[in-house]
Chain A
């Protein structure tokens, strides 16, 4: 496994519109990095350029500081798991997994040994003689993973590998991928549009928006300190309070309409403030700051909690509250936005 570095990558399919604009990031040896973003933002394009399946328009891809941008795909020594699994339909499970070793002209006895070990590791030993058409989605996924890992790739690329599985299986496969990654100390680049999935398994997450990187950080940092409104929206910050222009009184007080709001982070360049629904408190008696009146206009049942829509002078707020008390539409409440959860965003 190896370090990956992507420098100033840009891509245009038609010579006019840029699908990727100046993408730069690096993945360290043994790191699990996810690319997260909505459909069409350029995740697959990025992955395919790194794999060498399509040419870049400009920029470089480096592995262990060596420029591999012009190295053809079949000489890159990467592993890749496709969304459609892309198993070879005419080959058995064993032959599918052995394929990468055969093209590398490895001795038959060694192939047999290695494939057997890999099938064991991925729980496929009993299926060695089956053909892809005879396997379930989860099993196909595993074969695809085994086929990618057998060559001991410098980098494992995965393009939404779990999106064709049902919810339960997805969770199981996710854990399995994690286990294998830790065990084999793999460097992984994982593409997904599922936020929960990627926060659960990644060391770092790269959030993409229309061909550029909006934030590249650890899941914890992104979760607590989203850099832009786009990122915040993507990871479940439902409430956005526009800040009045040039209303910053000092670095921790800002005006929204006529209301002064306090933050614990520097809000000098803030355009909006954001807070997660579960961090807003209703009817907090000892509240002294960031508190104002509202009226409940809608209620949703979420199982563990209720989600209310509250109307106020600062606009509508989504508030999530534990199940013990149930409020009804029309109830008058006071909202408190705790300063430490109120994040200023500059874009």
Chain B
């Protein structure tokens, strides 16, 4: 048996965990500060910065837009990514690895460049509405996560179970829904979470499409911070953390990964 009570390793783990948690804890603490600057130690306790969030229309509309964009972009990435991966892993396509690299390529390019390129090409030259461009940008951001996670689980799945379904009288189209999808459910959920979080928190791409007509939450926070250095930003960060955690919890609960992995 391995001795799992290695002191050095335990210490390192705790240190790393502390390093990750520390900024979060600081943000939470500063959000309750009754002084009008983000500083430590805090002098007193107040909820007023949380109330202040709702006085800023940019935060409210920004939240709504970011939520809608993240949901649509993640959904689109799944809708296009899953069939693409299915084709890449199940059919012996020529140049399959080339396609694989192509789908993953957005990860290689700095997001700010993608944002700028999209702004140049799609918004300025093609005169596409900003909202559509935003969706395209965030979709590109999400797609690689879908491709990676779904490919991994598609390769792990025994391809004979699909064939068994066909033999049982299921057409390949029906089999995809009745057999393939349920068996890659866990990674679909994981991919959705990755997509959603990354899209929702994205600044570089959203920055370019941030116009008078459309406000995204992260650029709105950035914008606010440039003019007011007060704990409202801490407060909204805490709310976002809670929101994201709650959302993940609900998604996991609703789809129930536990039942199959038990």
Stretch touching chain A among B3-11, B30-38, B41-49, B158-166: B158-166
Name, among A73, A79, A82, A148, the residue most crowded by chain B CB atoms within 10 Å (CB to CB). A73
> In the complex, are the beta carbons of A103 and B168 less than 8 A apart?
yes
Q: Knowing A84-B158, A90-B260, A103-B174 are in contact, say whether A151-B169 is a contact too (CB < 8 A).
A: yes
Q: Which residues of B contact A79 (CB under 8 A)?
A: 167
Among B161, B169, B182, point to the contact of A86 (Cβ < 8 A): B161
Asked, given contacts A82-B160, A103-B174, whether A88 binds B165 with beta carbons under 8 Å apart, the answer is: yes
Report the Cα distance A86→B169, complex, angstroms. 15
Please report the total number of B residues contacting A with Cβ < 8 Å. Answer: 19
Number of interface residues, chain A, beta carbon within 8 A: 26
Query: What 0/1 pattern do residues 126 to 147 of A give for CB contact below 8 A with B?
Result: 0000010000000000000001
Docked CA distance A148–B164 (Å): 9
Q: Are A51 and B167 within 8 A (Cβ)?
A: yes
Question: CA–CA, A77 to B170, complex, Å?
Answer: 11
A80 (CB) vs chain B CBs: closest residue: B167
How many Å from the CB of B186 to the closest CB on chain A? 10
Alpha-carbon distance between A88 and B185 when the two chains are bound, in angstroms: 14
Q: Please name all residues of chain B whose beta carbon is closer than 8 Å to the beta carbon of A84 when the two chains form the complex.
A: 158, 160
Secondary structure of the A contact surface, majority rule = loop
> Given that A74-B170, A89-B183 are known contacts, is A99 also in contact with B165, CB under 8 Å in the complex?
yes
The answer to whether the Cβ of B171 comes within 8 Å of any Cβ in the partner chain is yes
Q: Which residue of B lies closest to A86 (CB)?
A: B160
Q: Which residues of B have CB within 8 Å of A147?
A: 164, 168
Q: Specify which chain A residues have a CB less than 8 angstroms from the CB of B166 in the assembled complex.
A: 53, 73-74
- A86 B260 Cβ-Cβ under 8 A: no
Residues from chain A with a CB closer than 8 A to the CB of B165 are 88, 99
Measured in the bound complex, the distance between the Cα atoms of B179 and A80 in whole Å is 17
CB distance from A42 to the nearest CB of B (A): 18
Interface of chain B residues 111 through 161 with chain A (CB within 8 A): 158, 160-161
Which residues on the A side are within 8 Å of B158 (C-beta)? 84, 86
Using a CB–CB cutoff of 8 Å, the interface residues on chain A facing chain B are: 51, 53, 72-80, 82, 84, 86-90, 99-100, 103-104, 131, 147-148, 151
